[in-house]
Structure 1
Amino acid sequence: MAPTREPNERLRKVIDETKLSGDAIARLVRRVAAEHDEFLETNKSSITHWKNGGQPAGNVGAFLAEALGRALGGRVVTLDEIGLIAPAPQKPDWDADTLSALAELGRADVDVERRRALGVAVYSVAALSLPGEDWWQRMAERSSARSSAATRRVGPVDLAAVRDMTTLFSQVDQRRGGGHAWTSVVQYLTTDVTAYLRGKFTDERVRRDLFSSASELAYLAGWMAFDGGQHATAQRYFAEAVKLAAEAGDPPMAAHVLRAMAHQAIDLGHHQQALNLAAASVDGDRYALASPRERALLGVVHARSLASAGRKNAAAKALLRAQDDLSAASDDMAEPDRVFFFGEASLAHETACALRDIGDLDGSVREFHHSVRTRKATKFTRTHAVTLGYLGSVYAQMNNIDRACATWSQALDAMDGVRSGRTRQAAADMRTLLSPYRRRGTAAISEVDARAAAYLSETA
């Protein structure tokens, strides 16, 4: 007699949460697989088999998790959450050659066969551990001693071109979200820029600045993937960005990436790991050598990580320090281009998130409103929409559904033309928080619910 399997109640619970039929889930799994260049015959019986304790073969479990996440508005659904076996987490190989790893990463992301061979990557908590202090010195020494057989000389003109392209891509991301131009960023980074990094530099200053600029571009590729909800991909690019910053001997650039990794970990609920990363970003020269504006950015994400870990007093102190740092910044001060987006509105947004997480909803509303008032919405459209979405959610937590709906209506207006996993999550949150009130049948509730559903459908 065959052994009796235990029903997979965790998978059953998540499927029930989607309110979709087995046929609908199966269609969505097939669609996700096709996007990864695999073609499945998944059907309603497959879904029933998995709910009854069967294990999907190969990459199918990851496709199922991604499909369920989409059905739930874009939130991350892990294999563990749905009771399936995940691949053993792998720590990054911090000592692997940076340029070879970067080129391979790019080929994997733009080449269909390599993408199929790699399968579906999984975000790894184990990969959030950082190398020891001696590693940073070794990386700086490795890069300056790197020999090159290339004949092409790389100088200030090439450096300026990389900086210009990075600025252009950053502006697109801020306005339109990570769903636009990501492939172009990856191709430019892993072809043109990687070729520059293998060239003969006219001097040491150009070498260091070019590695820093490449780090910024790798960070941007990671940030856009993070914003698009592709968390494992984002994690890989963030790791390469850290390595490039280390080879450049640029502690503030490394801090910038660690801050992004902390932000991602906060959003995914890994609070202790987020705190470790954020603390590393404000440690030693990473904070001391940063410009005031960048210090404020690092500090406010550190405050958010403290808040998410329940350390209210420490979070409050970190918020005050971030405010002081931003006050010390001025328009005539030389600062890296990568912090062009961070100003009064951004500080207020992150402060509001921290206050929300420690339970100060009135303070959170005040700071979110301050962010909305002070942001240049046409230039930073994506974040403006997210801010409004978060503000509406806080109003809903305060049981002020009328204000929530009015705010969410503004958020949906701002989402027009934006492709972002975070705006999708905001729209999904609207629907979830409105579900207890749908029976009221008011025009405002019905309109917001319908518009949020339409946005999720259009951007799926």
Structure 2
Amino acid sequence: MKDTRTRNEALCDAVKEACLTYDQLAADIRRTAAESGTILRTNSSAVTHWAAGRPPAPGTAGYIAEALSRRLGRHITPVDLGWTDPEHRADRAGAALGTSVGPDPIDIVRRLGEADINRRQIITAAAYSVAAAALPLGTAQAAEACLRAATTAGGHVGAADIAAVRAMLQAFTRIDERQGGQHGRTAVVQYLRSDVADLTRGRFATETDRNDALGTAAAVTYLCGWKAYDAGEHGLAQRYYLQAVALARESDHPAHEAWILRTQANSAMGISRPEHTLDLADAALSLTEGRVSPGYLSLFVITRARALALAGRGPEAAAEIRRAQDLVLRKNESTEELPFWASVWTSRNTANVATNAAKTLVSLRDHANAERHYTTAASTFDRVAGKARVTALSLSDLGREQAAQGHLEQACSTWGRALDYFEGINSDQAAKQVTGIRRQLQAFERRGVGAATHLDHRARDWQLAHA
């Protein structure tokens, strides 16, 4: 029987505009899906079928649209590519949840949380959106009156209620630092959807109480975003972060908004999506310079250094590393108090600056100095109780830099320590680090490094235990 499908001109035009072959587009789609933990087998034959008029699965359509968005430098949706049937439209509506800042971020957070808990694939496996990464840079909270009205609908909320939520936030975060982001994840999301959302709907005696409640909600939303990021669900993490920015902005705490923008930049760099990261780092810095303490400011300066390095601006990146280090030296550990939204995550600016300085130097291919900074970070985190996760990650990175310089036995020793700390940690970041360690160890074995075989067996056992 003759195939009566109509050629998909919208898709063909987009591919032509992007100057891509079908093989290249297929590779882009596979990479985009892999960022969210989805393994696709897309090849040029699949693209040929789509171009001829056969629609892809709705979930795949989102990855195709994002891959072309990145190539064309503008936001593309599945509908733009000619997939207008009800199934794709319904899926597109779900996939768009949280990718914009609307008049009521709490409502969006509730719906995101429901999709998260119920493991709706269209949300949990969503691609990281390069276009959405730029949203905080140009989005004003235009619907302030709407959100203000929504935050006066419930019972009376006072300082004690806000303090109780902050105490829960600290408890959840401590668990993450010890055991990884997947421990208690559902509980945190449910807490956000119920207790925290209800908190923001209350009646407040003062404007300060209202702002503190919104800021606390932003911090818990941020934690949900971090947990999604630690699970490798980067599209979902991005959606939580965008709503956290909206809440922080409405709480009238510019430094809190800056904290989340900084994390968005670092997260994007962590998954090799540097687009807009320098703009995000600059926006965060503009909200903090002249307004915060030296130690807190150092965290924003070092993020900018990392973004500059990825933008190919090495000398400027090196200068920002030095500026961040100078700011750390100026801070007073005994008197400098971080805001609550930062203090639950970091109490050691020295280690955080060292970690990001090392990442910057890796981009600049300065492995010796990257090793030195990772050593500082690992030893500093190691001295703080309850920092097993970040200590393990620092040691993994340290071993990689030692290996890059040919110090193979030393790298094996460092990775052995990392595996000690990784024990009991449930984290996609940890799993990827151990996979990377094993990949390098197999090369070491072929070169006759004695410690590599035993360590590879340990790493394999860790993978089996944490599968």
TM interval, short-chain normalised: 0.7 to 0.9
Residue of structure 1 aligned with 2:127, choices 122, 131, 136: 122
Residue of structure 2 aligned with 1:366, choices 357, 369, 372: 372
Question: Deviations along 1:253-292, whole A, 9 cap, x unmatched?
Answer: 1111111110111012122322121111101x33433333
CA apart distance, 1:250: 0.9
Distance 1:431 1:102, change over 3 A: same
Residue in 2 that maps onto 1:299: 301
Q: Which letter does structure 2 place at the counterpart of 1:314?
A: E
Q: Is the 8 A contact 2:124 2:236 kept in 1?
A: no
- Within 5 Å, give how 1:219-298 maps onto structure 2: 219-283=222-286, 285-298=287-300
Question: Deviations along 1:14-67, whole A, 9 cap, x unmatched?
Answer: 99x9xxxxxxxxxxxxx989xxxxxxxx9xxx99997897679525649999xx
Q: Is the 8 A contact 1:153 1:199 kept in 2?
A: yes
Distance 1:14 1:447, change over 3 A: farther
Question: Deviations along 1:205-257, whole A, 9 cap, x unmatched?
Answer: 11001111111111111112112211111101101100000110111111111
Distance 1:32 1:212, change over 3 A: same
Using the alignment, how far apart are the partners of 2:231 and 2:151 within structure 1? 37
Structure 1 portions without partners, runs of 5+: 18-30, 34-41, 66-77
Residue of structure 1 aligned with 2:360, choices 351, 354, 359: 354
Residue of structure 2 aligned with 1:439, choices 432, 446, 450: 446
Q: Which letter does structure 1 place at the counterpart of 2:327?
A: D
- Tell me whether 379-388 or 326-335 shows the greater mean CA deviation: 326-335
Using the alignment, how far apart are the partners of 1:92 and 1:182 within structure 2? 21
Using the alignment, how far apart are the partners of 1:308 and 1:7 within structure 2? 29
Question: Deviations along 1:386-434, whole A, 9 cap, x unmatched?
Answer: 1111111111211222111111111111100111222222112212223
Residue in 2 that maps onto 1:208: 211
Using the alignment, how far apart are the partners of 1:374 and 1:342 within structure 2? 11
Residue in 1 that maps onto 2:388: 381
Distance 1:232 1:354, change over 3 A: same
Q: Is the 8 A contact 1:228 1:420 kept in 2?
A: yes
Q: Which letter does structure 2 place at the counterpart of 1:58?
A: A
Q: Which letter does structure 2 place at the counterpart of 1:424?
A: A
Distance 1:268 1:118, change over 3 A: closer
Identity rate, percent: 30
Using the alignment, how far apart are the partners of 1:266 and 1:231 within structure 2? 12
Using the alignment, how far apart are the partners of 2:246 and 2:28 within structure 1? 41
Using the alignment, how far apart are the partners of 1:140 and 1:236 within structure 2? 20
Pair 1:339-2:339 in alignment: no
Q: Which letter does structure 2 place at the counterpart of 1:226?
A: Y
Distance 1:49 1:388, change over 3 A: same
Distance 1:200 1:271, change over 3 A: same
Q: Which letter does structure 2 place at the counterpart of 1:345?
A: A
CA RMSD of aligned residues (A): 3.6
- Secondary structure, counterpart of 2:153 in structure 1: coil
TM-score by length of 2: 0.78
Using the alignment, how far apart are the partners of 2:161 and 2:314 within structure 1? 47
Using the alignment, how far apart are the partners of 1:374 and 1:331 within structure 2? 17
Residue of structure 2 aligned with 1:99, choices 96, 106, 125: 106
Aligned residues: 415
Using the alignment, how far apart are the partners of 1:319 and 1:102 within structure 2? 36
- Within 5 Å, give how 1:166-205 maps onto structure 2: 166-205=169-208
- Secondary structure, counterpart of 2:288 in structure 1: helix
Q: Is the 8 A contact 1:256 1:281 kept in 2?
A: yes
Residue in 1 that maps onto 2:84: none
CA apart distance, 1:201: 0.9
- Secondary structure, counterpart of 1:282 in structure 2: helix
Using the alignment, how far apart are the partners of 2:101 and 2:124 within structure 1? 22
CA apart distance, 1:331: 2.5
Using the alignment, how far apart are the partners of 2:428 and 2:315 within structure 1? 31
Question: Deviations along 1:174-226, whole A, 9 cap, x unmatched?
Answer: 12111111111111111101001011112111100111111111111111211
Q: Which letter does structure 2 place at the counterpart of 1:228?
A: A
Residue in 2 that maps onto 1:316: 318
Q: Is the 8 A contact 1:62 1:79 kept in 2?
A: no
Distance 1:132 1:370, change over 3 A: closer
Pair 1:411-2:418 in alignment: yes
Question: Deviations along 1:63-95, whole A, 9 cap, x unmatched?
Answer: 999xxxxxxxxxxxx978xxxx99579693223
- Within 5 Å, give how 1:13-162 maps onto structure 2: 57-58=56-57, 61=60, 87=78, 92-111=99-118, 115=120, 120-131=125-136, 135-136=140-141, 138=142, 143-144=147-148, 146=150, 148-150=152-154, 152-162=155-165
Residue of structure 2 aligned with 1:391, choices 395, 398, 409: 398
CA apart distance, 1:123: 1.3
Structure 2 portions without partners, runs of 5+: 6-20, 32-36, 69-75, 81-94
Distance 1:148 1:10, change over 3 A: closer
Using the alignment, how far apart are the partners of 1:245 and 1:407 within structure 2? 39
TM-score by length of 1: 0.79
CA apart distance, 1:155: 0.5
Distance 1:416 1:119, change over 3 A: closer
Residue in 2 that maps onto 1:21: none
Q: Which letter does structure 1 place at the counterpart of 2:378?
A: V
Q: Is the 8 A contact 2:136 2:242 kept in 1?
A: no
Using the alignment, how far apart are the partners of 2:113 and 2:457 within structure 1? 39
Question: Deviations along 1:326-348, whole A, 9 cap, x unmatched?
Answer: 23243223321333324222221
